[in-house]
Structure 1
């Protein structure tokens, strides 16, 4: 029976209802967070806010944005994502491409593969990691947030397996046409591997954007904090010694819960904007890249 003439069954309705329920479960926390961030202090503290703001107010966002440190931290995070995701993309491709070749084409493949797997299973620990970065003079620089995670082994294996599953006829036809290794990579493998590359790029963007720990450990100056570290460190400390009536009024209206909700919502906006453009590649890329012949 064709799709055009097939009638909806009870199973179809049940699956649709299940998908709607899952969607609501996923969206509800975001709506609750937004509602708290836009609600008055008394309503929030009284537990009256659910999914709709009560006594609508922008005080939490105004308090958060009325600070040059916020914009500086936001800029650091944007720079980190751009450099980190770009560097991870380049190194992942350059490492996964030769590793996807057979041992006949790449004699040392098994040795390199052993080292790759070893790095996934064992690590030197936090203190040696910090001392290495310090000895390289990277502390308090953007490169301290980028270089230590420049080669994500999981992403390399994902892209490598994707490339290994590509038809061998593509490679053979390219060699017959006179293409070399670089032409094969740039004109055949990268365009065909867009689903896997989009998937690992999404992983890189989310990992760099959400990480706060490295900024906390590697940055001793607050002006170098990325956004997540800034938010983690940010505490509401209104100076009550000031006699300015506007400051005192803001202290009376503002709730820690509202401010924290505003922080959470602002930090997820960039990911929400990027994800729809990469989502159509996500399932296809991670499924094919996780299967090994």
Structure 2
């Protein structure tokens, strides 16, 4: 069937596609430029001749990064944080969202508990009080200082809460009639049916832990405990690889450019998210839409 559009509708479609294409290019072109700089020779990078395609193609920046112990150590810390933090966030978010998804007749003071969580979004406890608490419970220089302060992401909890509310009540009622406990209903019915929402908040959680750098700088006194994002922050903003006095590093730096090495580190830092997202994309949109609508 051939669809016919009015002139105003065609104009709207053209403008819409043009705007979305321009927005996509604004997001993609900086990534392509960083990738091109990381693969380019020092001369071309220093002369600002590299735009969207590498000049003097080389892997020397990546070889240097692979042999940098600080970078490799920060990757291991970031992976530890990602695994531990995502597991804790997902577990606690599920446990909190499921009871709060029930009606007030089933869970007394449910609305009050929900507003307590929402209150933490509107008002923060403050950086200094949070630091004092982390220090008093002896979590400084510990991986737990990067995990526990945000153990229950309230935005993710609200998404999952609304998704749980959209599940057919008849299924849970039938399970209770058959003798299932609340824990059995949660893990045997609610969680398996919530894969789109879980994939969505899982992606949010992983991206958050991988990209978050501020807590690493605040709660880690030793640079060897920095996760990757915090290490990259210090490299990009505070440090210059050209200032090193290590003879071995100086020999490796010969012919390298500071920008190309930083670009290689930035691209390697973003690569895991690029690799994970395609596998979760099919759940992402449905999870966002269903989890954001309250029935």
Question: Normalising by the residue count of structure 1, what TM-score does the alignment of the two structures yield?
Answer: 0.89
1:125 counterpart residue number? 126
Q: Give the alignment of 1:253-292 within 5 angstroms.
A: 253-292=255-294
1:31 aligns with 2:25: no
1:86 aligns with 2:87: yes
Alpha-carbon distance between aligned partners in 1 of 2:204 and 2:39, rounded to the nearest angstrom? 30
- SS of the residue 1:179 aligns to: coil
Shift of 1:178: 2.5
CA contact (8 A) 2:242 2:258 kept: no
> What is the number of equivalent residue pairs in this alignment?
286
1:110 counterpart residue number? 111
- SS of the residue 1:253 aligns to: coil
Please list the CA deviations of residues 258-293 of structure 1 after superposition, one character each: whole Å capped at 9, or x if unmatched.
122111100111101111111111111111111112
1:183 counterpart residue number? 184
- SS of the residue 2:174 aligns to: helix
Q: Give the alignment of 1:19-98 within 5 angstroms.
A: 23-98=24-99
CA contact (8 A) 2:61 2:260 kept: yes
Q: Would the alpha carbon gap of residues 25 and 114 (structure 1) be closer, same or farther in structure 2, given more than 3 Å must change?
A: closer
Please list the CA deviations of residues 122-175 of structure 1 after superposition, one character each: whole Å capped at 9, or x if unmatched.
122100000001111111011111111111111111100111122222222222
CA contact (8 A) 1:161 1:290 kept: yes
RMSD value over aligned CA atoms? 2.4
1:247 counterpart residue number? 250
Bigger mean CA deviation after superposition, 170-179 or 52-61: 170-179
Alpha-carbon distance between aligned partners in 2 of 1:278 and 1:62, rounded to the nearest angstrom? 31
- SS of the residue 2:140 aligns to: coil
Q: Give the alignment of 1:153-172 within 5 angstroms.
A: 153-172=154-173
Q: Which runs of 5+ in 2 are unaligned?
A: none
Q: Which runs of 5+ in 1 are unaligned?
A: none
Shift of 1:214: 0.6
1:223 counterpart residue number? 224
CA contact (8 A) 2:242 2:253 kept: no
CA contact (8 A) 2:156 2:201 kept: yes
CA contact (8 A) 1:98 1:106 kept: yes
Q: Would the alpha carbon gap of residues 18 and 118 (structure 1) be closer, same or farther in structure 2, given more than 3 Å must change?
A: closer
Alpha-carbon distance between aligned partners in 2 of 1:275 and 1:177, rounded to the nearest angstrom? 39
Shift of 1:19: 6.4
Shift of 1:29: 2.1
Question: Normalising by the residue count of structure 2, what TM-score does the alignment of the two structures yield?
Answer: 0.89
